[in-house]
Amino acid sequence: MIKKLVLAGLLFLSYTAQAQDYIPKNDGVKTNTSNYTVLTNAKLFITPTQVVENGTLVIKDGKVVSSGKNVSIPKNSIVIDLAGKSVYPSFIDIYSDFGIDGIPNAGSSNYTPQYDASREGYYWNDHIRPDVNAIDFFKYDASKAEALRKAGFGVVTSHVNDGIIQGSGLLVALTNDEDNSKRILDDHLGLFYGTSKSKTSNQSYPTSLMGAFALLRQVNLDAQWYAKGNMKVKDRALEAFLANKNEVQFFNAGSKNNALRLDKIGDGFNTQYVFLGGGDEFELIENIKNTNANFIIPINFPEAYDMEDPLLARSVSLEDMRMWNQAPSNPKVLSENNVPFALTTYDLKKTETFHTNLMQAIAYGLDKTKALEALTTVPARIIGKSNELGHLKPGAYANFLIMSGEIFDKKTVLYQNWVNGHKSEINAMDITDMRADYALTMDGANYTLKISGEVEKLKAEITTEEDSYDATVKFNDDWLQLVFTTKDSIKQEFIRLVSQVKNPSNFSGKVFYPNGKTSSFNAVKNNSEEQIDVKKEEDKAEETPKIYPVTYPNLAFGPKETPKQQTILFKNATVWTNEQDGVLEQTDVLIKDGKISKIGKNLSAGNAMVVDATGKHITAGIIDEHSHIATTSVNESGHNSTAEVTIEDVVDAEDIDIYRNLAGGVTSIQILHGSANPIGGRSAIIKLKWGQTADQLIYKNSPKFIKFALGENVKQSNWGDFNTTRFPQTRMGVEQVYINYFQRAKEYDALKKSGKPYRKDLELETLAEILNKERFISCHSYVQSEINMLMKVAEQFNFNINTFTHILEGYKVADKMVEHGVGGSTFSDWWAYKFEVNDAIPYNAAIMHNAGVTVAINSDDAEMSRRLNQEAAKSVKYGGISEEEAWKFVTLNPAKLLHLDDRVGSLKVGKDADVVLWSGHPMSIYTKAEKTIIDGAVYFDIETDKQLREEVQKEKNELTTLMLQAKNKGLKTKPIEKKEKELLHCDSIDQH
């Protein structure tokens, strides 16, 4: 150890003498050498695909001078013979926070929320930090560097992984033999982004993922505006953002879905992000491919769950079990689909596991050359350093690995990792592998010596035909020491053997007996046994793991194939048309090409699939005006107005509640922003096409909606005693917020229309759409006073409120609502959960309907939404609405309120075939949805569901067995985890 240190010290001195000749030297004389280091006779991987047998590599001053077959060796060279060994370019990790230290932490804020930025002279939001430079927080971490070198890495990028825009990074060579003046290869590399807020600030906004996305867009817009010199202030954050615009843009997406979402945002600003992935890219590989982005892929494959307690194990979901089974195939799938990707150690708890996981990815089918490229040429290309990194062509950094053989072979040993021309020894190169069985002769007696274990950590066992002895063995620098116990079982004494091994097949040495006598021994290697061992190991390696097929979504009840449009003829049904025809008995319905094609008696089938619907009912699909399923965010509560955010950014097509809603006959929903602020975010209006991606769920040419909210939620009445500073805290303030925003939107719109330059503001853009009657308001509302107020504000600005949602006191102002022309979407019977719903009555829908308001019944609840047919039925009970009209409350009327009644909401020839086949009367509690059809494709079928249940159980059983086997094999497992999806309501806040 001391020797190594001295060596390192010497190297360091020689280096400083060369490179930094302007630094005074007081501890000796200045020296200078211009020697070359030459590695010869190696299998030389100049690139992952350019391989030279018996190649030569010439390096000097940390760079490759020449490499290849016929390379002349300068006279002043130190030559290292690498016969039988292989040389590879070392690995590059382009996503890490290596050496970053000292980021201030603002601590958690349990008290009054912070709305304003902490920094002055920077952007208005603390989480936008493009001005941060990683170099300012960098402190070389020698021990981490060593771990990375052991894993094969030579250089890594690093950055401050904090905030939504995180600043620029750096590129550092992992050598302890130089200082930062040389090992930092680039101190200004890339611009880094994330989806989480900065720990340095407690500024509230954004509280949600969709808020982060909106903020990102606004920063881009503001930067454009700033670049044109239109801002009168100095903003160092925007300046840094602009300065880094042409650098590589790294985004910590962390999941396939976020990568897809962010890629769209990037497209809007001609920015192509490089994404740090989440390891789940294989689940949507086509879409991932279509981003045309480069990916950085972590390989922190999940451990198996410990399934030994069957009672607990029951709660592990198929989704998580599959992820364990499938995730190691992610690199393979990316590679086979030609998605360019680099591999990273990011997210690994221990760097040591990188190699194990990489080998696992290869066992799961990742091509070895692709693997090598993903660690060398691809990352080099992504960071724009292809000239000097990732290969061993002349001019490249002398960063390479000396290996005992093929790099991804199980038995290959990494000997040395050279960085910037500095050797770092990982395993002694010329160490002799002593593992074998030997015939040991000692004073005429014969023994069998078995040396096994790892090269670095040997185990020994000495046996005769009758006895066996405990033994320990050490092998260091050709010296073998063997200690074993004497035969005497009462008094334990030790016999020591020592030998300087010249020939590992046949060596002899001295024996030291307990009594001090010495003698000699001889050991001869037994060759036949070793080969058997090797064979066994190879058999094991050939075991190819079984990978379960991916469904989309990749969880229970996810379809294997996207449902296809069909031509279906329903015969003899009771048909609820919602049109003038009313309810038709014994009627046929033909759906074709995604539309309702014919309704009538005795329709001919043609080539349609015929469904006998005798005794059954057919209706238009249920439409839920107010839902919070299928989204990852509900509220952006960081500001009192968040018109800039949109649920369309965060639609979650993988929510099991989509499937459950289909089973309740629901076909379309409006995913509304929550009610955390007077002006909320924009809606996503989707069809529940389970098995399609988020983009495909959203209506084509979707009507534009936004959520507003009134009452207790927006004035934060139930948010605790610390939330008392945000304006408004009273209903009086709410009115003023609206007037202020609409007035500003009006002025903004006038400026925009005037043709003069203006700062594009996403919030005011949205509000101007309302003034221009292009976007419609659905307003969360309870109490009559404020309902009345909002209508008056709208009238003042010459537009109409489209819908009051919840509207529990709508019955008190139904006449005013009719006069204003606003619809009401209400709960059937909710009340008493807060003070403002104390006068909510279940007769609300009936009274509003009777007064002439277009009335819908909504859910705002993932459970109730699957029983909306029953909620409609309550209007028959409370207020005596006819069944035909009550049914419209959950179909045609919400379609009208959503401006979709030309497409859905009734059974009319030419409308979308969004149809439900019910087992009986659609509003009876005893009825079930049997088929739910959207655009002519069957998305829920009660018979198919039965099969799926069996398949889910079968697959879970099999995966459980595999996990138990994994544990039995000695693989690490983790304790079970049970994921209960949170029920999202209006007042739900993102938990991140």
Partner 1 sequence: MKNLFILLFLISGVITNAQQTPAPKQSGPISIEGATAHLGNGQVIENSLIMFDNGKLTFVGSANMRIARIGIIIKAEGKHIYPGFIAPNSTLGLTEIDAVRATRDADEVGAMNPHIRSIIAYNTESKVVESMRPNGVLMAQITPRGGRISGTSSVVQLDAWNWEDAVIKENDGIHLNWPNTYSRGRWWLGEPNTLKENKNYKEELDKLTHFFAEAKAYKENSSSNSHQPFDALLELTNGNRTLYVHADYEKEIADAITFAENQNIKKMVIVGGYEANMLINKLKEKNIPVLLQRVHSRPNNSDDDYDLPFKLANQLVTSGVLVGLENAGDMERMNTRNLPFLAGTCAAYGLDKETALSLITLNTAKILGIDSFTGSLEVGKDATLFISQGDALDMRTNILEQVFIQGRNVSLETHQTELYKRYSKKLN
Alpha-carbon distance of 837 to 675, in angstroms, equals 15
Q: Does 888 bind partner 1 (CB under 8 A)?
A: no
- If the CB atoms of residues 407 and 656 are measured against partner 1, the closer one turns out to be 656
The CB-of-570 to partner 1 minimum distance in angstroms stands at 22
In the complex, least distance from residue 209 CB atom to partner 1, rounded to whole angstroms? 15
Contact positions with partner 1 (CB under 8 A) in 556-575:
556-557
Residue 663: how many CB atoms within 10 A of its CB? 19
Q: For the CB of residue 262, give the shortest distance to partner 1 in the complex, in Å.
A: 23
Q: Count CB atoms within 10 A of the CB of residue 260.
A: 21
Contact 563, 938 (CB under 8 A): yes
Task: Give the DSSP H or E segment for 462.
Answer: strand 457-463
Least distance in angstroms from the C-beta of 109 to partner 1 = 11
Q: Contacts with partner 1 in 827-866 (CB under 8 A)?
A: 829-835, 838-839, 841-843, 847, 850-851, 862-864, 866
CB-wise, 315 or 798, nearer to partner 1? Answer: 315
Of the candidates 577, 489, 554, 508, the one whose C-alpha atom is nearest the C-alpha of residue 333 is: 554
What is the closest distance, in whole angstroms, from the C-beta atom of residue 704 to partner 1 in the complex?
Answer: 31
Q: Which of 267, 127, 141 is nearest to 192 (CA)?
A: 127
Asked if residue 103 binds partner 1 (CB under 8 A), the reply is: no
Q: Is 663 in the site for partner 1 (CB under 8 A)?
A: yes
465 near partner 1 (CB under 8 A): no
Beta strand residue intervals within 513-556, DSSP E: 518-526
Q: Is 555 in the site for partner 1 (CB under 8 A)?
A: yes
| Nearer residue to partner 1 within complex by CB, 454 or 980 | 980
Cβ 246 to partner 1 shortest distance, Å: 35
Give, in order, the Cα–Cα distances in Å from 101 to each of 135, 141, 154, 233: 10, 10, 21, 31
How near is the Cβ of 67 to partner 1 at its closest, in Å? Answer: 47
918-937 footprint of partner 1 as x/- string (CB under 8 A): ---x-xxxxxx---------
Q: Which of 171, 873, 890, 895 binds partner 1 (CB under 8 A)?
A: 873
Is 22:48 a contact under the CB 8 Å cutoff? no
Contacts of 232-240 spanning 24+ positions with Cβ under 8 A = 234/121, 235/121, 235/122, 235/123, 236/121, 236/122, 236/131, 237/122, 237/123, 237/128, 237/129, 237/130, 237/131, 237/165, 238/123, 238/130, 239/131, 240/130, 240/131, 240/167, 240/168
Q: How many CB atoms lie within 10 A of CB 877?
A: 14
Residue 880 Cβ vs partner 1, minimum distance, rounded to whole Å:
9
How far apart CA 745 and CA 743 sit, in angstroms, is 5
β-strand partners of 45:
51
DSSP secondary structure string, 670-706?
Answer: EE---SSSSEEEE-EEEE--BTB-HHHHBPTTPPEEE
Stretch 281-310: interaction string toward partner 1, x if CB under 8 A: ----------------------------x-
Q: Which is nearer to partner 1, 33 or 838 (CB)?
A: 838
471 contacts: CB under 8 Å, gap ≥ 6? 449, 460, 461, 462, 482, 483, 484, 485
Residue from 370, 525, 571, 867 touching partner 1 (CB under 8 A): that is 867
Closer to partner 1 at the Cβ: 179 or 951?
951
Find the shortest distance in angstroms from Cβ 314 to partner 1: 8
Retrieve residue 629's tokens.
């399923």
Secondary structure E strands in 593-736: 595-600, 609-612, 617-620, 622-627, 666-671, 679-682, 684-687, 704-709
Rule CB under 8 A: say whether 814 interacts with partner 1. yes
Q: In angstroms, what is the minimal distance from the CB of 574 to partner 1?
A: 15
> 116-153 in b/e burial notation, b at 16+ Cβ within 10 A?
ebebeebbbbbbbbbbbbbbebbebbeeebbbbbbbbb
The interface with partner 1 within residues 506-525 (CB under 8 A) comprises: none
Q: Which of residues 359-378 bind partner 1 (CB under 8 A)?
A: none
Judged by CB under 8 A, the residue of 192, 251, 507, 659 near partner 1 is 659
**Residue choice 214, 374, 575, 656 for contact with partner 1 (CB under 8 A):** 656
String of DSSP letters for 139-187? ---HHHHHHHHHTTEEEEEE----SSEEEEEEEEE--TTS-HHHHEEEE
Q: Using the 8-state DSSP alphabet, how is residue 621 labeled?
A: P
If binding is defined by CB under 8 A, does position 660 make contact with partner 1?
Answer: yes
Least distance from partner 1 to the Cβ atom of residue 167, Å? 23
Question: How far, in Å, CA of 346 to CA of 95, rounded?
Answer: 6
According to the binding rule CB under 8 A, does residue 870 interact with partner 1? Answer: yes
Integer-rounded Cα Rg, in Å, for the chain is: 36
Smaller CB separation from partner 1, 420 or 858: 858
Spatial separation of the C-alpha atoms in residues 237 and 223, rounded to whole Å: 9
Which CB atom, from 348 or from 942, has the smaller least distance to partner 1? Answer: 942
CA angle 404, 405, 411 (to 5 degrees): 80
Q: Which of 242, 876, 964, 989 binds partner 1 (CB under 8 A)?
A: 876
By the rule CB under 8 A, 978 interacts with partner 1: yes
Position 626 contacts partner 1 (CB under 8 A): no
Q: Which is nearer to partner 1, 188 or 985 (CB)?
A: 985
Backbone phi, then psi, for 455, in 5-degree steps?
Answer: -55, -40
Under the binding rule (CB under 8 A), the answer on residue 108 touching partner 1 is yes
* Six-digit token string for 586: 């014994």
Residues 705-764 binding partner 1 (CB under 8 A) are: 712, 717-718
> What's the rounded Cα separation, in Å, for the pair 317 and 952?
10
Q: Interface with partner 1 includes 107 (CB under 8 A)?
A: no
The nearer residue to partner 1, 180 or 850, going by C-beta atoms, is: 850
Distance of closest approach, residue 809 Cβ to partner 1, in angstroms: 9
Return the number of the residue (289 or 921) whose C-beta is nearest partner 1.
921
CB of 69 to partner 1, least distance (A): 54
CB of residue 12 vs partner 1: minimum separation in angstroms? Answer: 40
Q: How far is the CB of 917 from partner 1 (least distance, A)?
A: 16
Pick the stretch among 117-125, 136-144, 535-543, 945-953 that binds partner 1 (CB under 8 A): 945-953
Site string for partner 1, 407-446 (x = CB under 8 A): ----------------------------------------
Q: Write out the binding residues for partner 1, residues 309-368 only, by CB under 8 A.
A: 309, 311-312, 315, 317-319
Closer residue to partner 1 in complex, CB, 1/832: 832
At its nearest, how many Å lie between partner 1 and the CB of residue 689?
17
Interface with partner 1 in residues 595-614 (CB under 8 A): none
Alpha helix (H) residue ranges in 797-841:
814-820
- Near partner 1 by CB under 8 A, which window of 171-179, 284-292, 688-696, 868-876? 868-876
CA atoms within 13 A on the CB side of 388: 13
